[in-house]
Structure 1
Amino acid sequence: MGSPRISGEDPEHVEALAVAQAPLPPIIVHRATMRVIDGLHRLRAAEARGQDKIAVRFFDGDEADAFVLAVESNITHGLPLSMADRKQAAGRIIVSHAQWSDRMIASVTGIAPGTVADIRRKVSAGTAVEGSRIGQDGRVRPINGAEGRRLAGELIAENPDLSLRQIARAAGISPETARDVRNRMRRGEEPLSKPRGKARTRHEGRPAGPRGGFGSNTAPARTPIEDRIAAVDRLKADPALRFSETGRTLLRLLNIHMLTAEEWEEIIDNVPPHCSGIVATLARECAGIWGEIAVRVDHQMAEIV
């Protein structure tokens, strides 16, 4: 199985855990091989404390899945993996879980989907890949989206009243892609995207007006999701937040907002009509609270400076 850490154990981190007063959380052990999946530093800290026992949770999957769990666990807590560790782990997961999408592997390794795509190209050495991949939402989608778009166009032409979710499921594409196909057909265009050689704007193909897609040009510009996730990961690694109850609460609140545009679209499209008013009101109130937090945190920073 092997550790995702290129440099191995960190003695300073072991020492910091050993002298801390807090009890050590359970480690995760691969039952079949009895190797530590997550918590080797905690195990060494327990030994340094003179303990002869430590709480354990067992994992019963195969070694490839055990490695994935090791990577994912070290992304969400503990001593963060370095960028080199994450990239090497991504390359290994691409080989063992070739059916996973770039976004799926990115969510496990904590790097951007574009970086995963670059690593995949190097690993595959230019070999053409066909078939489908499993996305972060657990759905199987074709690698070549052209066929999915073509099928979505046929479905929309036959039954214009189908929901985006129904179209996406039947065509094996994302709800956002289904929306783009529908919008193109409404404008009398072909369902397929424009060739890559042609320049296109980030939100081209989305309808104008208040009902634009999530993150459309009717909304303020947003930081790319990959950059937001990376920012939250940096905050997770900060001891000032990780080791305080209010800090952990803040990290949990920030983490639940790290959804892609496609995931937000699916949530929005599946809000029951009779709940729309309440959901919209609560969304606006939550946005107002976050806006006030932003103003007050900015003000605190200005006072410090």
Structure 2
Amino acid sequence: MFEQQLEEVVVEVDIASISTAESPRSSGEDPEHIQALAETEVTLPPIIVHRSTMRVVDGAHRLRAAELRGDEKIKVKFFDGSRADAFVLAVGSNITHGLPLSMTDRKSAAARIIVSHPQWSDRMIASVSGISAGTVAEIRRRTSAEETASGSRIGQDGRVRPINSAAGRELASRLITANPGLSLRQIARAAGISPETARDVRNRMSRGEDPLPKARGAAKAGGRRTEALSRSTAGAATAEVVPMTDRLAAVHRLTSDPALRFNETGRRLLRLLNVNMLSAEEWQEIIANVPPHCSSIVASLARECAGMWDEIAVRVDLQLA
């Protein structure tokens, strides 16, 4: 999340110059965990230290273990962000590895992040603090941060979306009506809403309902709903799941096509298509071996790649129209 503010260079720093204040762990360090780290023969990763305050962001137990061994220096990576961002990084680091934070500490951390980063969405804060988005929403309601937040929030994907999605839902419904073939990601991007909200709008329209939930859209005219539904269903194309053998055969046919084989752009397309022709078992093996600390990044990149392929499909179809 704050990779650009985390220095990759590892340096040795005097242990005496480093502080462990402002830890998200209310119970302090665990003596047994410190002892286990001090006795391990495995080389431990460098700790992360906030440069401007010299406070530990990640690695308090490793620091204490080094002290227990009698070391005077420890390997460090410096973080150059704000104190608020340093706390967020500390919480996130203690969720993904090491000795996990207690549920009480996670909720306390979420409450602090809500105040320091009120523009972040509930899901964004939940992904950092290791609790559910619903719990974050409940904590937010009990704080005054809601009053200071703007009319939009930043989601996990880095995009800014309005807190009140009524306008976005209205725009999404118009986009679906005008072009039923658009992907959910394309609709979401254009309307400034999440893909899940776009999905909800599309599902509501397919059932003949208003794109807005009842509390906000009960007074909308029924004629517009009927018109939107009829136009949507009239032009919508049903996506079919193509069997693996058929996909492989299709790619093989393309590979034999001189129009693609004998130019660099065509060969690049064929390479991209071949990379995606893994079987379900092969994909499952890859998924099962994604390290937990990489999961959110891999998932985000996978969604972005899926969105790009969706856009390619739409644009290729438009060339044929």
TM-score w.r.t. structure 2 length?
Answer: 0.62
Q: RMSD between aligned alpha carbons? A: 3.6
1:28 paired residue number: 48
Greater gyration radius: 2
Q: 2:142 aligns with which of 85, 104, 122?
A: 122
Where structure 1 has 5 or more consecutive residues not aligned to the other structure, the ranges are: 199-206, 213-248, 276-305
2:106 paired residue number: 86
Q: Give how far 1:45 is off.
A: 0.4
CA distance in 1, matches of 2:148, 2:54: 38
Alignment coverage as a number of residue pairs = 230
Q: 2:161 aligns with which of 141, 145, 158?
A: 141
User: Does the alignment pair 1:73 with 2:93?
Assistant: yes
2:130 paired residue number: 110
Q: Please say if residues 176 and 265 of structure 1, whose CA atoms lie closer than 8 Å, have aligned partners that are also in contact.
A: no
User: Residue 57 of structure 2 aligns to a residue in which SS?
Assistant: strand
CA distance in 2, matches of 1:274, 1:154: 22
User: Does the alignment pair 1:44 with 2:82?
Assistant: no
2:79 paired residue number: 59
Q: Give how far 1:262 is off.
A: 10
User: Residue 153 of structure 2 aligns to a residue in which SS?
Assistant: strand
Cα distance, 1:85–1:168 mapped onto 2, change above 3 Å: same
Percent identical residues: 66
Cα distance, 1:128–1:100 mapped onto 2, change above 3 Å: closer
2:309 paired residue number: 271
1:185 paired residue number: 205
CA distance in 2, matches of 1:191, 1:262: 27
Q: Please say if residues 186 and 311 of structure 2, whose CA atoms lie closer than 8 Å, have aligned partners that are also in contact.
A: no
Moved over 2 A (4+): 124-130, 154-166, 182-189, 193-196, 249-259, 261-275
In the TM superposition, 1:156-305 aligns within 5 A as 156-195=176-215, 252=290, 268-271=306-309
Q: Please say if residues 118 and 145 of structure 2, whose CA atoms lie closer than 8 Å, have aligned partners that are also in contact.
A: no
Q: Please say if residues 155 and 161 of structure 2, whose CA atoms lie closer than 8 Å, have aligned partners that are also in contact.
A: yes
Q: Please say if residues 140 and 146 of structure 2, whose CA atoms lie closer than 8 Å, have aligned partners that are also in contact.
A: no
2:15 paired residue number: none
More helix by share: 2
1:244 paired residue number: none
CA distance in 2, matches of 1:256, 1:36: 22
Q: Please say if residues 183 and 310 of structure 2, whose CA atoms lie closer than 8 Å, have aligned partners that are also in contact.
A: no
Deviations 1:17-68 (A, max 9, x none): 1111212210000011111111111011011111112110000000000000
Q: Please say if residues 174 and 262 of structure 1, whose CA atoms lie closer than 8 Å, have aligned partners that are also in contact.
A: no
